[in-house]
A and B are shown apart, each in its own frame.
Chain A
Amino acid sequence: MPPEAQGNMMSGAEMIIRALKEQGVDTIFGYPGGAVLPIYDALFKQNHIRHILVRQEGGAVHAAEGYARSTGKPGVVLVTSGPGATNAVTGLVDALMDSIPIICITGQVPTHLIGSDAFQEADTVGITRPATKHNYLVKNVADVGRVMHEAFYVATNGRPGPVVIDMPKDIQVETGPYTGSPKTKHRSYLPQVKGDINAIRQAVELIASAKRPVFYTGGGVINSGPNASQLLREFVRMTGFPITTTLMGLGSYPASDPQWLGMLGMHGTYEANLAMHDCDVMINIGARFDDRITGRLNAFSPDSRKIHVDIDRSSINKNVHVDVAIVGDAGHVLEDMIKVWKAGVHRPDKQALADWWKQIDQWRGKDCLKYEPSTDVIMPQYALQRLHALTRHLKPYITTEVGQHQMWAAQFIGFDEPNHWMTSGGLGTMGYGLPAAVGVQIAHPNALVIDVAGEASTMMNIQEFSTAVQHDAPIKVFILNNEYMGMVRQWQQISYEGRYSHSYSDSLPDFVKLAEAMHGVGLRCTKPDEVDGVIEEMMAIKRPVIVDCQVAKLENCFPMVPSGAAHNEILLNAKDAGLERADDLALV
């Protein structure tokens, strides 16, 4: 054997570490167990990669998602076989739905025991096949290096997503030649990033001819990287058109810019939804016509011609038929659109656009996010307005749980930069926000990282607060505690005549004491005039904090396009929804 080949001989576990290093991985999130002990041993013997020990494997995947979304780099997870792998499944599906690049290494029983119902054996590749973008079971030590590199390629190219690598224990121990390099691609998976120039020309022509245009942009712009957000800003300003973004696209266009109409969809703004409904040209960049956006499909933007830019061909014409389809990366396509726009004689119809803006301003005049303020109880919207006002100069990273608080966060916290907003959109996973905040904080140790939470969601992954304490991740869990699964209660109030079946958060812990018991800091506010003080105190503490912000219990989140309704059937307030605020208050 030639000496250089000998230098390439190592154990499967060492190959994993080497491949991670070559991929520039500095952090992994994991939890040990019998089937990954060789990998943990290899981790022990090196200093390049930091291992963040979580408290449950589900937390590891969400933390890796937060890490990935806030850095643009893939998140890496290491868990054991059987229960370790099955605990990770929710996070994998979450990452699949929200297009987050994740590499998840799972331990597996030794190859000769596969299929024998061995201790902690689970059919991980079978279970995770529909939960991942792709998965591997490695059966030969000589494949380890190549598969690792291929997995990074698959996770990060095209539409990003989670990739599982199932590593039998004997493969981790065996010695073999290291193969592959960060240049390793996949022989059949070669996604198209440049858009077809003819389709782009056609799109630009349609854009220039528009009288009532709207940009509808989504998570794909964030996936494409900060450059795509820059190009989007450039192009939108060039055209002077209004723009709305999905929940997943927040931050790709500055919320403080007058051309931005706010978020659209079920809990989007009145102006964004009506602009979508009445537009004549819709320019979708990196959004997927989710049902929370379209409402009733046959009433969705009935009179518009639609342009759709997406890196995944299967997103095109899936839910909504479009007139001009461009398969490609948002950044590349935007660059070409700007070039074509600049080169041509394309000038929008100024008069029509002015009329359109006049109409939009009229819709804006409704002030659809207004709520009834109170001096006795903390309105959740008020708490978030204060949180935004007091923290915005620090450009905080915000994660959320799932529920009303998530929607209010989307409505009331303005994002001017991409990668600062981490939320579970597609799967809507309660328990995402706390571990995601840990992942974000690990990636940005000096930043202010806040999990805007509900009390019910917080209980789903509270154990990860210990992870934050252990790893000096001074996350802030800002609970809008309404003592209800508020989003569920809201639907029950609107659609089930107020029968609040099992949506009350009974037997809650004392969150302040809980924080203290877990060696963090607990703060509480119960009155509006205490909110500012508590937020300032929270910001000053350089340790993990839980804030129990006790808010109005029965407040509902508006606007709301009820599921199955059209955009112009949007409910603006309790009255529209057939609810009397006064009655609700009597129930408090």
Chain B
Amino acid sequence: MIEFKQINKSYSDGLVLSDINLTVNDGEFITFVGRSGVGKTTIFRLLIGEEKPDSGELIVNGCNVEKLTKSRIPYYRRKLGVVFQDFKLLSRKTVYENVAFTLVVSGASNKKIKELVPQAIGLVGLSGKENRFPHELSGGEQQRCAIARAIVHQPKILIADELTGDLDAIYSWEIMEILLRINKLGNTVLIATHDRDIVNRLNKRVITMENGKVAKDQAVGRYMI
């Protein structure tokens, strides 16, 4: 369970999030929508402990994220899977190495790596492209690779920021289907998107943000901006 309690967050040039209260139950699929710059990415940054809220509490599975010390944060992050808005793939590593990286860093055994990495690559449909470097992949394939890296360690919570940016409709939906499959396995999925069709087709909970606040929180939401 994820709980935002009276979260306020400002950067040097002003308040971005004010008074955010949200509860996300295990196994939910939530879509954040809102104009560019409204603070969707900021919410995710708080969730992974990259930024700290100015005030308020953020509790993830009983753990107070804003109180985590620097030395605890790595261990906390290993429980999450994150697909970043800009993918953040390692350009000098192959698809396989990129996906394995999460496991390597967290000290998984070679046996476990050999077992989990092909699974994750298969799940996102990149089998056969393990030895390519990121620049040898299309934008959509890079995104799949980023998803594979985010899910390879089987996190209970998957966060995907702005997944379907500039992909065609069919391709975008294929990506969404991957996330839905992960959600079906019982994992919590949080995404942010600007894609109206996707939101309307998902029929999942939608949180609409405006002016740094939660404007609407609908159990089966539609894209309305």
Q: Do A and B bind each other?
A: no
- List residues of chain B with CB under 8 Å of any chain A CB: none
- List residues of chain A with CB under 8 Å of any chain B CB: none
